Structure 1
Amino acid sequence: MPGGGKPPLRVILCSPRGFCAGVVRAIDSVERALAIHGAPVYVRHEIVHNRYVVDSLKAKGAIFVEELDEIPETDAPVVFSAHGVPKSVPEDARVRNFITLDATCPLVTKVHREAEIHFRRGREIVLIGHAGHPEVVGTMGQLPEGAITLIQTIEEAQTFIPRDAGNLAFVTQTTLSVSDTSEIVAVLRARFPAIVGPHKEDICYATTNRQEAVKLVAPLVDAMVVVGAPNSSNSQRLKEVAERAGCGYAVLVQRAADIDWTRLDGITSLGVTAGASAPEVLVEEVLDAFAQRYELHVETMAATEENMFFPLPRPLRTSEAAE
């Protein structure tokens, strides 16, 4: 700043933030496949919802496609993204004799298994989630058309008419807001007391933990920056949670270049977090941008400790052991 020192800014880093175990596993799966097989490695859909991560993997030899029909005949491996895929996708891959590696997050796979069990037991299934999200498309695609009804809002929960009110079950998208989901579940339980839910809600541990950290920090700061992609469901929810928890201004940015500095005039305190698919290097980039304008006093506020780990898909583990 011309004419004097920089103004002070108290920065509270939310902990945990950024990569979760499922994202680490998915990215490592692509990198491990590249190391074993060489380039190219094909990836169906963005491996995780973060442009920086996708571009980094492209530079190493990964080729991203939306559908398998974009892939030529090849001996190169094809990786399924962390969000999961409909059953038709691995079937199509088998028909074309592709080598496939499933990087679906184990917590998403758990939801798929729950839905299959309910279906085998003859229950009509409600999925609480957002239409068009790859995870929702993948979950609904585990079962025949019509077996799962998507409910996105409290209003839809209030007007939903099941085939048999006494034979219902629900599952949820893992990256939703805990409060949003609980409100919809409460409506369903009130209307259909016999509805069967998961033993533990399907909201993933990382989604819950990152939201809890934001709830701690948001009331203490003038503004909250969430580092993440606009198509990342868990990142969008972090921004909403910050606003609900009392933060006057919350913004989702992919990179430091996205920051609108005019909206931050006069702040003396700032919260910073990152969605589960955002790498820590982008958090550091954002902090560096603030450090050019402010004298930072950085502290961390932790909601919980995370030590979750998911092993790589089995074919990649076997190759590692053989080396």
Structure 2
Amino acid sequence: MAIKKFMQLVEIKTKTASMIPFLFGTVYAIFRFHEFHVEHFLLMLFSLLSFDMATTALNNYYDYKKAARKHGYGYEVHNPIVSYKMKPTRVLLLLCILLLIAVGAGIVLFLRTDLLILLLGGLSFAVGILYSFGPIPISRMPLGEIFSGLFMGFVIMFISAYIQAGDRLASLTLQGGIAVLQVHLLEVILIFLVSIPAILGIANIMLANNICDIEEDIENKRYTLPVYIGKANALVLFKLMYYAAFVDLLVLFFVGVNPLLCLLVLVTLVPINKNIQRFTQQQTKQHTFGLAVKNFIMMNAARIAVLTVAIFMTQI
């Protein structure tokens, strides 16, 4: 399979939705706990990226198989299996290879850490598969935004911080055949609050995608959130989630979690607000869907950059 076809099949541009929480969790662990393990970082990188690509390819394959209408609504363009005339058997083979890499790297990471990674990793794998596969995939229900936001925005960030900080966050051990879970509740709550902009940004990528596809989804019996609440309400929700992310940023500053430098992230509100207005005026995959991805990158990459600078400043 040619590289271009592969990149389109796995929608490589959308991998920022998993890579940014992963990087931010790592930077957060360095900033708060002063810990960094290169081997753990690389193992999670290979596992996460391979699995993210596999689930995207699976989603495209499942849409290809389940589409009720195969003409119109841009189906011939938006589904790479159709537009590049890919052989379904080769797509399935690629899926298996990506999953093997993801599982293999994940198992090695578990062996280097502890049982909690096995539990959280297994749960994430299950949700990722059920997102696109099964009798009623999550992506075909009004729960896609919640699951994608929580698992990609929070769980990925928590795992990436946990493999660096270890029992400073939590631990899961076996004692006499009994599983004992210990959680540093305050630290976990703080990570959840820090991850809210990532959670909401990823949820908005999914929401924007579903808003753009609302007519096609109705035709193909995909009952997503915009189908249930209507396009007008979905656009209001799209806007409010961005503003809530910036409120969270201010709250974390006032409670002393975010350093003063993080206030610089507020500057991104100007271009993000312009993108919100543009998407509100027109919702298409070709022209405006990418604005949700840009907003997510701007808002969260800025936080990673600022926190990285704060780390270097503490070392001076």
**Is TM (by shorter chain) over 0.5?**
no
TM-score, L = length of structure 1? 0.29
User: Which of the pair is proportionally richer in helix?
Assistant: 2
Where relative contact order (Cα < 8 A, 6+ residues apart) is larger, the structure is 1
Considering fraction of residues, name the structure with more strand. Answer: 1
Q: What is the TM-score of this pair, normalised by structure 2?
A: 0.29
